[in-house]
Amino acid sequence: MGIWWSLQRGYRGIITIDGNNKDSIEDVPLFIEKLEEGYDFIQGSRFIKGGKAVNTPLIRMISIRLIHAPIISLTAHRNFTDTTNAYRAYSARYLNDKRVQPLRDIFMTYELLAYLSVRATQLGMKACEIPVSRVYPKTGKTPTKISFFKGNSQLITILFKNMFGAYTPRKTDTMLEAADMPKRDI
C-alpha cells in the first residue's frame, strides 16, 4: 500500500526501512543522493566498505553470505552483498515500469522484496549498493519475522521461484488499481 500511495502522489522515489530499530536512519541522505543521481534500485549493505554489521547472529551471517546473496546475485546478473536487508530505495521510474508491475496480488509475503532485488538489473536499470549500519541487540531475542525452519524454507522456495521467473509479469498480468486496493480507516 505504501508503494501505491507514494506513486499516486507523484513521489520520485521510495525508501524502505525495517521498523525494528536495527537500521541507521542517519543513512537516509545517501539513498536520496543516489536516487537524485539517477539510480533506480539502491541496496543498503552492511558488508561493503563503510557499512557496519554489529552483533549479526552467526546463522544469519552464514545464510546471507552463502545462500541468499549468491542466489539473488545470480538472478540479478549483478553482485549484491546484503540482499536480506530491506533498507533500500526504488525510483518511481523503476516501480512504474510496465515490465515490473510491483502491485500484483502474487506478492503476499517476501516475494516482492526478492523480486525487486533483481528486476531492475535484469531490465538494464541503474543499481548500486551503499554502506549502511545494521545493529542487532547484544542480548535477547533476535528481531526478525522469519522463523528458523518454516520461514527459511519458504524463503528458499521464493528465491528459487524468483530465479526461474515466477514473478516476472506475463501479458495477462495487470497491476492493482486504486479501486482494487483495500480500504482502510486511519
pLDDT at 5: 96
Q: Write down the pLDDT at residue 183.
A: 46
Q: Which residues of the chain have pLDDT under 70?
A: 140-152, 172-186
Is residue 183 situated within a structural domain? Answer: no
Joined together, the cell numbers standing for residue 144 give 526478525
pLDDT at 184: 44
Residue 133 grid cell: 549500519
Domain interval for residue 147: 2-172
User: Which residue, 184, 155, 2, 136, is CA-closest to 72?
Assistant: 155
Q: What's the CA gap between 36 and 140, in Å, rounded? A: 39
Domain annotation covers residue 83: yes
pLDDT recorded at residue 179: 47
- Asked whether the whole model's pTM tops 0.75, one would answer yes
Strands of 127-131's sheet, edge to edge? 13-16, 88-91, 41-45, 127-131
Residue carrying C-alpha cell 525487486 = 116
The pLDDT of residue 137: 86
Total domains in the chain come to 1
**180: in domain:** no
pLDDT score for 147: 52
User: Does any domain span residue 182?
Assistant: no
